[in-house]
């Protein structure tokens, strides 16, 4: 949610800031703005609406400064408006701030500042920050850059909540200060310049070397240098990391939308995720894991904790782990996990899945698990993201930047990675060698199987044209197919705004069948041979009530349905990697038929960095 960019160097800041904000549009937002330093004064241009609309403000053409900050806002405190947009200024117009996160005690801080004659223009929590900085700066005995730094540090000590903050000051026109707490922020280092962003892809075309801030670390930035401090104003050392993502992978490469590009990138993403981790001739290799048989035998329960699509990947992972390792697995929604007093012990292993590595609820759940003495594993797609620095162990999907809000390639890569972890554990435990051999063989074939599905999507596109005006769609599946039904339903909701529900097929008679009437669409996934006849019986129940049927299957069917999409056969445990592809495409084509913005669905954000 919300996006931050910043620049300090020798080039004009404005085009770099606008470019960075455009690359962050996938996060979801309702307003945008930039501020630059012009002749030792801060110029602030912002408005409700899209980033591109900033170019319609005439004053923006006069910006020539080489230091600036930018922001895309998703309204939390105060409705979308020009006044509530970032950047925010203090009353003296000498400090400008952009902020991601939520300041929980802003009301108390606002009253404190009002008692010192400060006035407020917006309804936001953010506006207290520049005014607090001004207050602390004015009352500081420090001099030079220490005065600026200390004012920001003292301000952050007064804030409760989460934040990533960039600060400009007219008193220090050649510098910028940034800080983070529970909200992502990175610094890209170039030659005589620095780029700042809440997401690496936004500035990946400008920099390959990055500083990754930890909580309550402050960076004092000039074009030639970055100094890092802790919250006691003591200078600290930071290592620089080289990020090897191809900047071109964050471009559309000729596709009309990022989502379609990322659907088609799934064979590559899965090949990269598999890498050298598994082969048919050797034991599974996970470089950063250090588990032994004694520890794995001591585990009484595995928790998989995630949100949204990642949680659906976790449900498929549960099936794989329980089948191979014979350890009970619970899958939990991260936003509920902390508040249900989960029974976690030193004999629990907790796996946390988040594409961005910045999902606030998931990170908070991980911190809770650590306090209970459990070992923690993070599965993420972003190197150096917040969760990877909190977890005991990290394993990366290598899906590359995922820009569309609706996750596709990250989801299938997460399932593959959970399968690899399951095999790794089972091999150490000495369990189910024949199952492992078959599963490995089928995992290695997944990329080519997906390529087969993607070769011809005509039938899916045609069916989308038939149903795109419908108001309700139902998804059903049994066993391993049920999480796929949930994910297909979520994709349709996310990008087409059609109401949809997912149910285990056997639950139809327990209520949902009351909703089935003539011409309602029912999507069914059929990949489990052992449950085929039962599943077909469930579909017949909706057919007799007039439903249209869209079937995704790898089985031979002797029944007539409205549309049947055949996918390659594979091991049932990983069939969700294949069966979800037609559902991703169905949601995509329906959204396109409706003329919607596929990559940036309303009210949603790519990285949910607040609770």
Residue with token string 């007219």: 170
Phi and psi angles of residue 170, each rounded to the nearest 5 degrees, phi first: -65, -25
User: How many Å apart are CA 557 and CA 525, to the nearest integer?
Assistant: 12
Task: Using the Cα atoms of residue 103, residue 108, residue 109 and residue 113 in order, give the sign of their dihedral.
Answer: positive
Residue 595's Cβ-side half-sphere holds a number of Cα atoms within 13 Å equal to: 1
For residues 192 and 223, the answer to whether their CB atoms sit within 8 Å is yes
Phi and psi angles of residue 601, each rounded to the nearest 5 degrees, phi first: -65, 150
Task: Using the Cα atoms of residue 77, residue 78, residue 79 and residue 83 in order, give the sign of their dihedral.
Answer: negative
Under DSSP, is residue 219 helix (H, G, I), strand (E, B) or coil? strand
Region label for 581, one of left (φ > 0), alpha (ψ between -120 and 50) or beta (otherwise): alpha
Q: What is the DSSP letter of 214?
A: P
Q: What is the DSSP letter of 53?
A: G
- Residues forming the active site: 2, 606
Give exposure, 47-75, as e/b (b: 16+ Cβ within 10 Å): bbebbeebeeeeeeeebebbbbbbbbbbb
Q: Is the bond leading into 195 cis (omega within 30 degrees of zero)?
A: no
User: How many Å apart are CA 203 and CA 264, to the nearest integer?
Assistant: 24
C-alpha 56: how far from chain center: 31
What are the beta bridge partners of residue 6? 69, 196
Scanning 456-550, the segments in alpha helix (DSSP H) are 458-467, 481-496, 532-543
For residues 304 and 317, the answer to whether their CB atoms sit within 8 Å is yes
Token code pair at residue 419: 């399968």
For residues 219 and 213, the answer to whether their CB atoms sit within 8 Å is yes
For residues 23 and 70, the answer to whether their CB atoms sit within 8 Å is no
């Amino acid at each position: 949610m919300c996006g931050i960019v910043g620049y300090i160097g020798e080039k004009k800041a404005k085009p770099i800031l606008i470019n960075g904000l455009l690359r962050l549009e996938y996060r979801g937002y309702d307003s945008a703005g930039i501020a630059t330093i012009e002749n030792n004064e801060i110029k602030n241009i912002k408005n409700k609406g899209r980033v591109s609309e900033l170019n319609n403000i005439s004053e923006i053409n006069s910006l020539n400064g080489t230091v600036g900050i930018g922001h895309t806002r998703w309204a939390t405190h105060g409705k979308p408006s020009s006044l509530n947009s970032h950047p925010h200024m203090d009353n003296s117009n000498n400090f400008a701030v952009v902020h991601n996160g939520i300041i929980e005690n802003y009301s108390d801080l606002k009253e404190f500042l009002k008692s010192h004659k400060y006035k407020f223009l917006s309804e936001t929590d953010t506006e207290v920050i520049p005014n607090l900085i001004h207050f602390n700066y004015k009352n500081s005995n420090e001099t030079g850059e220490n005065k600026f730094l200390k004012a920001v540090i003292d301000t952050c000590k007064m804030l409760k909540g989460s934040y990533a903050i960039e600060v400009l000051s007219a008193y220090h026109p050649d510098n910028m200060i940034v800080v983070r707490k529970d909200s992502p922020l990175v610094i890209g280092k170039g030659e005589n310049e620095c780029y700042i962003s809440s997401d690496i892809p936004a500035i990946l075309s400008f920099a390959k070397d990055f500083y990754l801030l930890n909580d309550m670390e402050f960076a004092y930035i000039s074009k030639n240098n970055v100094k890092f401090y802790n919250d006691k104003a003591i200078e600290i050392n930071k290592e620089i990391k080289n990020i090897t993502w191809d900047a071109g992978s964050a471009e559309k490469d000729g596709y009309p939308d990022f989502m379609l590009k990322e659907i088609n990138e799934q064979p590559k993403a899965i090949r990269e995720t598999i890498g050298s981790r598994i082969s048919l001739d050797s034991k599974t290799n996970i470089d950063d894991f250090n588990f032994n048989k004694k520890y794995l035998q001591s585990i009484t329960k595995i928790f998989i904790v995630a949100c949204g699509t990642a949680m659906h990947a976790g449900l498929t992972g549960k099936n794989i782990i329980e089948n191979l390792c014979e350890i009970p697995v619970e899958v939990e929604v991260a936003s509920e996990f902390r508040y249900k007093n989960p029974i976690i012990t030193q004999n629990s292993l907790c796996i946390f899945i988040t594409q961005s590595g910045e999902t606030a609820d998931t990170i908070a759940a991980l911190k809770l698990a650590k306090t209970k003495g459990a070992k923690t594993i993070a599965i993420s797609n972003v190197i150096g993201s917040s969760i990877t620095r909190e977890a005991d162990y990290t394993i990366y999907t290598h899906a590359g930047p995922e820009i569309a809000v609706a996750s596709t390639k990250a989801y299938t890569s997460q399932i593959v990675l959970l399968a690899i972890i399951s095999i790794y554990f089972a091999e150490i435990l000495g369990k189910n060698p024949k199952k492992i051999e078959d599963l490995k063989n089928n995992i290695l074939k997944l990329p080519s199987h997906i390529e087969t599905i993607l070769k011809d999507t005509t039938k899916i596109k045609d069916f989308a044209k038939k149903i795109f005006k419908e108001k309700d769609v139902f998804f059903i599946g049994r066993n391993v197919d049920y999480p796929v039904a949930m994910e297909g339903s979520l994709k349709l909701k996310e990008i087409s705004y059609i109401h949809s529900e997912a149910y285990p097929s056997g639950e139809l008679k327990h209520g949902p069948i009351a909703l089935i009437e003539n011409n309602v669409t029912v999507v069914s996934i059929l990949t489990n041979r052992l449950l085929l006849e039962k599943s077909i019986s469930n579909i017949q129940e909706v057919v007799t009530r007039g439903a249209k049927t869209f079937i995704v299957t790898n089985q031979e069917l002797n029944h007539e349905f409205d549309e049947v999409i055949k996918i390659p056969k594979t091991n049932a445990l990983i069939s969700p990697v294949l069966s979800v592809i037609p559902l991703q495409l169905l949601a995509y084509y329906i959204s396109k038929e409706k003329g919607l913005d596929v990559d940036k669905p309303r009210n949603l954000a790519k990285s949910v960095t607040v609770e």
